[in-house]
Amino acid sequence: MKILLMGPPGCGKGTQAERLVKELGLTHLATGDLLRTEVAKGSEIGNKASEIMKSGALVPDELIIQILRARLEAGGVEEGIILDGFPRTVEQAHALDHLMAERDGGIDKAFLIDVDDAELISRISGRFSCASCGAGYHDRFKKPRTEGVCDACGATEFVRRPDDNPQTVAERLKVYHKQTAPIADFYEKKGILVRVDGEKSIDDVYVDIRSAV
């Protein structure tokens, strides 16, 4: 099974992927996370990507395709994958077709999680995650069960992303509408696009995605 989760920043791609991984045992491949790992390592790729990510722009197609190809070749993806945040341009969508053709077949479903811009800004500004295991939370919508303690691993330190400030979020939304939204057509034409109302609760969005998988 190969699933794409698409949609604007803050629509819930990572949140839904976390749940699908737990239930279906698929491997979660989030290009934003792969980039943040490179930035944290201080690698050449990470150094190139860091300033671009802080600005809210997309990193160049050839760079992100190279990272994804390397991750697929590293293995551990035999049970299936959930791609989160890739593709983000028409060029990346074509590259993904080639990458999948080299393996065993194409994408089964492409979910587009739709959310209004004003709601996205509110979601992103309240988001934080566990500094130890990365579990995601929100000031209003998804608080840890015990304040200040991660539900998943018990750690007590949390972090917020440097690109979650209002200026960068505005740019990320602009980039999404211009460069990424058009790829919905690409998957619609293939007959595998599923539109999901991302303004429902986290549980209800999950039910909609799960029932279409």
CB of 122 vs ligand AP5, minimal distance in Å: 9
Amino acid symbol at 71: R
CB of 36 vs ligand AP5, minimal distance in Å: 7
Selecting among 88, 142, 143, 160, the annotated active-site residue is: 88
Phi, psi of 25 (to 5 degrees): 70, 20
Selecting among 142, 161, 195, 200, the annotated active-site residue is: 161
Q: How far apart are CA 19 and CA 16, in angstroms?
A: 5
Quick check: is 172 catalytic?
yes
Say if CB 113 and CB 60 are below 8 A apart: no
Task: Please list, in sequence order, all residues whose beta carbon lies within 8 angstroms of the beta carbon of residue 202, skipping any fewer than 6 positions away.
Answer: 12, 15, 16, 141, 142
Task: Please list, in sequence order, all residues whose beta carbon lies within 8 angstroms of the beta carbon of residue 144, skipping any fewer than 6 positions away.
Answer: 137, 150, 151
**Cβ-closest position to ligand AP5:** 32
Half-sphere exposure of 25 (CA within 13 A, CB side): 3
CB of 179 vs ligand AP5, minimal distance in Å: 9
Cα separation of the two ends of the chain: 9
Selecting among 2, 13, 36, 123, the annotated active-site residue is: 13
Sites of contact with ligand AP5 (CB under 6 A): 7, 9-15, 31-32, 35, 52-53, 56, 58-59, 64, 85-86, 88, 92, 123-124, 127, 136, 138, 141-142, 163, 172, 198, 201-202, 205
Quick check: is 69 catalytic?
no
Quick check: is 41 catalytic?
no
Quick check: is 88 catalytic?
yes
CB of 42 vs ligand AP5, minimal distance in Å: 17
Selecting among 2, 36, 123, 172, the annotated active-site residue is: 172
Active site residues: 13, 88, 127, 161, 172
